[in-house]
Amino acid sequence: MCECGEEIYHEKLPNIYEGVLKSAKNCCTTTTAKKFFPIITWLPKYELNFLIPDFVAGLTVGLTAIPQAIVYGTIAGLTPQYGLYSAFMGCFVYIFFGTCKDVTIGPTAIMSVMVQAHTHNADYAILACFFTGVITLLMGVLNLGVLVQFISIPVTTGFTMAAAITIASGQINNLFGISSSSNEFIESWTYFFKHINNTQRNDALLGIITLIMLLIMRKIKDINSSYKSLTKYISLSRNALAVVVGIILCYFLSSDDWLPFRVSGKIVSGLPPFKIPPFHTEINGTKIDFEDMMGDLGASLISIPLIAVLETIAVAKSFSMGKIIDASQEMVALGLANIFSSFFSSIPISGSFTRTAINNASGVKTVLGGAITGILVLMTLAFLTNTFYFIPKATLSAIIIAAMIFMVEYDRIAEIWRSKKTDMIPFLVTVLSCLFWTLEYGMVCGIVVNILFILYKSARPTIIITEEKLLKNIKIAIVDIQENLTYSSAEYLKSKVVKYISTHSEKIGKVVIRGEEIHTIDSTVALNILSLKQDLLALNCELLCWNWQIPSAGVICRLHPDARKMFKFSKTLQEVVSTNMQESTLTLETDCETITVPT
């Protein structure tokens, strides 16, 4: 039968016109509206008894968000209120566009560290926030969520670990009351050991005790006791408790012109003004225009959005309970959150690991919980800034360090080690380059090293050559390729076969390449296989292709009319070789009749 004869000479191409038409049609359906506004789906299904859990969760998250925001504002190199300015709009926007009920968007340690490197004044941070929003939104609309798939678990695990270590290290000086602005791993520790004599007794005591208490309180919820619900709530509200204790201590121990602890400094009271992000700024009286600001922000215009997306999606994945995350929609939500937030003097924001975990543990039912968090932050800005003036820096540092200790995924690292040792390479590359270079470049290093794995595998497919002796004592080499072939492996295949045949002491009359697992090849592979055929002919050896998948065989057959003669479709090897032996110079027509479509 000659059925595959036609098929083999015609390449199946995707119909681009139909594809475009289809996506144009999809553009204006209710499914698309539901995809872009997830609130349409969940709000009508909202039940009254969701209100209380959502309220409690929102409140708990808010009580953690406020002290965190204050410290993240200072980590970004700005005054504390900027952290609070960044902490409400994300929550509100996420209600409309977010897909994962637990995710909390707001200022995070990583974002603060990253923006700090480029912050000459607040305007830079706000502009960075605006562009983070625009770029993230654009990536979401262009459906670039796919790119996130190239960040493997070893790389995210490594990045999280390195980020946690970097951020915790950045707080070590504050914990001991040493005045320092260093935020990087090595810098912080060298500064710490150089200035260890400047340790303030009060701050160090408060910091270390708070840290230990936080670690204990985090653990007590795991203890089985009759007061399980009580211990659970103590555990959840531990950050708020630490802040309250810190403020009270500081307030009552202070005298008119003396404070017992170092504090973050005055928090400017009042809601942030609504204004367009600043496209020019002034430093020490010198006007700096838009272009120069962009120049100063430099590569961070790309790296901050990327890390924001990554962090948010990593958080969403951790709490999705196996639900597939729509990465592109998360990008849209994050992008809009940043854009809206930038109108309220915000620094770049992203999904927060700690607060999302607290949200989840508090039993949040829908994204509506975020509204309570946002309102709480606004109320703090309006009425409570004087109270928060008394937060000791050491307390905040203890809260951050405690959060970072639990951010490292120790189990995951053990799992990677157990399941596949080579996956430790991208993990370690990410960790080390993040710690000793910068977080942004470290992540890129990890991704690149991991992509090299894919490329290496594509260049070195597993090729197994075995021998068989069939009738008339002619030795046959059978080449088994366990993968699809791409151009990068073309020469490897050719040289491996030629080397095998030419270095073999016994004469091999035929080489049979099995092709059941070769579903696609490209023109480079096709040209190399034809050239392999010539090489083998020079060695008095015939090349046959056995049971190749039709699309792959087609790529070779379309190159040269005679190539068709190489392809044999049959169940047994015997048949392949003997058909060919009877008549080694079959014409295309007669040969065609021996071809049967493989089942």
Under the rule (CB under 8 A), what is the footprint of a second copy? Answer: 11, 13, 146, 149-150, 152-154, 321-324, 415-416, 418-423, 450-451, 453-455, 457-459, 462, 482-484, 486-492, 494-495, 498-499, 517, 519-520, 522-524, 526-527, 531-532, 534-535, 538, 555-556, 558-559
Cβ of residue 514: shortest distance to a second copy, in angstroms? 12
Both structure tokens of 511: 């080489």
Cβ of residue 149: shortest distance to a second copy, in angstroms? 5
Residue 183 or 328: which CB sits closer to a second copy? 328
Residue 297 or 490: which CB sits closer to a second copy? 490
Contacts of residue 596, defined as CB under 8 A and 6 or more positions apart, other chains included, come to 1, 569, 570
Cβ of residue 499: shortest distance to a second copy, in angstroms? 8
Which among 486, 496, 482 has a CA at the least distance from the CA of 526? 486
Cβ of residue 456: shortest distance to a second copy, in angstroms? 9
Both structure tokens of 427: 């993990």
Cβ of residue 480: shortest distance to a second copy, in angstroms? 11
Does residue 522 contact residue 488 with C-beta atoms inside 8 Å? no
Residue 368 or 557: which CB sits closer to a second copy? 557
Residue 281 or 318: which CB sits closer to a second copy? 318
Residue 364 or 416: which CB sits closer to a second copy? 416
Cβ of residue 167: shortest distance to a second copy, in angstroms? 25
Cβ of residue 116: shortest distance to a second copy, in angstroms? 31
Residue 73 or 154: which CB sits closer to a second copy? 154
Cβ of residue 205: shortest distance to a second copy, in angstroms? 43
Residue 203 or 535: which CB sits closer to a second copy? 535
CA distance 207 to 212: 9
CA distance 300 to 280: 18
Residue 223 or 464: which CB sits closer to a second copy? 464
Cβ of residue 150: shortest distance to a second copy, in angstroms? 5
Contacts of residue 292, defined as CB under 8 A and 6 or more positions apart, other chains included, come to none
Residue 462 or 585: which CB sits closer to a second copy? 462
Cβ of residue 412: shortest distance to a second copy, in angstroms? 8
Cβ of residue 571: shortest distance to a second copy, in angstroms? 16
CA distance 325 to 100: 8
Cβ of residue 522: shortest distance to a second copy, in angstroms? 6
Helix residue ranges per DSSP H, 176-299: 185-194, 201-220, 228-236, 238-253, 290-297
For residues 570, 575, 577, 581, the Cα torsion angle rounded to the nearest 10 degrees is: -120
Please give the full DSSP string across 523-561, using - where no structure is assigned: HHHHHHHHHHHHHHHHTT-EEEEES--HHHHHHHHTT-G
Which among 65, 430, 138 has a CA at the least distance from the CA of 309? 138
Say which residue the tokens 């009319």 belong to: 561
Strands 463-470 and 474-481, how do they pair? antiparallel
Residue 262 or 533: which CB sits closer to a second copy? 533
Please give the full DSSP string across 53-99, using - where no structure is assigned: HHHHHHHHHHHHHHHHHHHHHHHTTS-THHHHHTSSHHHHHHHHH--
Strands 508-514 and 542-546, how do they pair? parallel
Indicate the burial class of 320 (C-beta count within 10 angstroms; 0-12, 13-18, 19 or more): middle
Find the helix or strand (DSSP H, E) in which 475 lies.
Answer: strand 474-481
CA distance 439 to 303: 10
Cβ of residue 536: shortest distance to a second copy, in angstroms? 9
Q: How many helices (H) and strands (E) does the chain have?
A: 29, 9
Indicate the burial class of 29 (C-beta count within 10 angstroms; 0-12, 13-18, 19 or more): exposed
Does residue 185 contact residue 436 with C-beta atoms inside 8 Å? yes
Residue 534 or 590: which CB sits closer to a second copy? 534
Indicate the burial class of 24 (C-beta count within 10 angstroms; 0-12, 13-18, 19 or more): exposed
Residue 334 or 416: which CB sits closer to a second copy? 416
Residue 241 or 448: which CB sits closer to a second copy? 448
Cβ of residue 49: shortest distance to a second copy, in angstroms? 22
CA angle 240, 241, 244 (to 5 degrees): 85
CA distance 528 to 497: 12
Cβ of residue 446: shortest distance to a second copy, in angstroms? 12
Residue 199 or 524: which CB sits closer to a second copy? 524
Indicate the burial class of 300 (C-beta count within 10 angstroms; 0-12, 13-18, 19 or more): buried
Residue 60 or 528: which CB sits closer to a second copy? 528
